[in-house]
């Protein structure tokens, strides 16, 4: 645990950017690992981009563990982080028990959403020797009560609360912290205020690293793409093209076989 915290602090000191992407299955995890990614997050975003739920609040622990096992089978070098789903870390003791299940499933670290409010939970996890990645800013598991995916840090009070969250997770033993949809200037302030890397998603380029949902990066979920994402590929278009070609080839072969003399 200590070695991992120090490793990422040293990366920050050297100005070495942390790269992170999500994966939910064996082939994607293996491809990302072979590409040299630093961190692979088995995110509860799988609820939307894999399982078809409206948001992450319907994802179960069993589903997360199932996908974590698949990802772990494909990874040799990257750090595999398991995302703890909603209602699995209500109390510190439950948080530790859930984290241990992720480790047993093949994850090497865990992530849960929350800052100051979950400092005791984070401390319990890190005290148990389990590496922990923090997540503050926009918290997808609270999307319904917050009324959507909204940028955080727009007001002075929000900015101060975010900085307090960042310092709290650092003190509790986190090796890094995800900043989701935080005003870039505030993300920059947080980055300078703590010694562990900030890993941004929709929070500007001044963070110590970046994370994205792989489906967004490669255009595999075309029905919704976050405003802050510029897809590097259009995999959905290729799947449609390949499927259409297969359908045409198969139907064409069938038509030929019905011709007289064939």
Cα(246)–Cα(248) distance, integer angstroms: 5
Cα(207)–Cα(184) distance, integer angstroms: 9
Ramachandran assignment for 31, one of left (phi > 0), alpha (psi -120 to 50 degrees), beta (any other): alpha
**Residue-wise DSSP of 208-252:** SEEEE-HHHHTT--TT---TT---S--HHHHHHHHHHHHHHHHHH
Task: Provide φ and ψ at 178, rounded to 5°.
Answer: -80, 130
Burial of 122 (0-12, 13-18, 19+ CB in 10 A): buried
Question: Which of the residues 123, 180, 185, 205 is marked catalytic?
Answer: 180
- Specify whether 63 is catalytic: no
DSSP single-letter state for residue 175? S
Cα(30)–Cα(39) distance, integer angstroms: 12
User: Which amino acids are annotated catalytic?
Assistant: 180
């Amino acid at each position: 645990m200590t070695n991992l915290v120090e490793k990422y602090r040293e990366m920050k000191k050297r100005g070495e950017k942390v790269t992170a992407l999500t994966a939910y299955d064996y082939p994607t995890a293996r491809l990302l690992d072979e590409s040299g990614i630093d961190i692979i997050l088995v995110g509860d975003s799988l609820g939307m981009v894999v399982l078809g739920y409206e948001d992450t609040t319907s994802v179960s622990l069993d589903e997360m563990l199932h996908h974590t096992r698949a990802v772990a089978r494909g990874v040799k070098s990257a750090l595999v982080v398991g995302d703890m789903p909603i209602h699995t870390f209500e109390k510190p003791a439950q948080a530790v028990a859930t984290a241990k299940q992720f480790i047993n499933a093949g994850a090497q670290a865990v992530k849960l959403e929350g800052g100051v409010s979950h400092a005791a939970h984070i401390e319990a996890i890190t005290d148990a020797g389990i590496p922990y990645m923090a997540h503050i800013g926009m918290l997808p598991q609270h999307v319904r009560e917050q009324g959507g995916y909204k940028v955080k840090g727009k007001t002075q009070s929000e900015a101060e609360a975010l900085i307090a969250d960042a310092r709290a997770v650092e003190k509790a033993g986190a090796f890094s912290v995800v900043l989701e949809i935080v005003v870039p200037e505030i993300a920059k302030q947080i980055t300078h205020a703590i010694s562990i890397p900030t890993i941004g998603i929709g929070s500007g380029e001044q963070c110590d690293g970046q994370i994205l949902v792989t489906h967004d990066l490669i255009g595999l979920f075309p029905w919704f793409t976050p405003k802050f994402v510029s897809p590097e590929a259009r995999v959905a278009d290729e799947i449609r093209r390949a499927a259409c070609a297969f359908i045409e080839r198969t139907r064409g072969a069938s038509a030929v076989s019905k011709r007289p003399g064939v």
